[in-house]
Structure 1
């Protein structure tokens, strides 16, 4: 006995397989922009290192890094709304 697939499952919708447009940050121009901003930030930091190291702002850098990481790590997960829901019940 041969198995014949259900025709409703073999039909493909063109919208399901349409290629997504490349995001700006993953495009060539976006990568160049990120590199240019990074190099500019390093040069600016190097030129103003005396002001940065003696001003007392260096103490706040770890705290700002933690807040920044927390903000960017939740960017694709929808924030705190999904914690503890779903499989726990």
Structure 2
């Protein structure tokens, strides 16, 4: 896992496959706190609860949920760090 935020052209990807609720959300929350506004976080999850939990996390923290897409054996969720108020 990189120690710095990704450039605006790339995303920070986290492989959270195999983790069960609430671990994907907790890891996402931790990484979102480290990112700069506008940075993209892509979470690869197998937990079916992530489909509910990650959009709720984005809404509750003021970040942006940009949707999800199926991968090979996982779902990739995209969250973007919101601009500072």
TM-score interval, normalised by the smaller of the two chains:
under 0.3
- Tell me the TM-score normalised to structure 2 length: 0.24
TM-score normalised by the chain length of structure 1 = 0.23
The structure with more strand, counted as a fraction of residues: 2
Larger radius of gyration: 1
Q: Whose RCO is larger (CA < 8 A, sep 6+)?
A: 2
Q: Normalized per residue, which structure has more helix?
A: 1
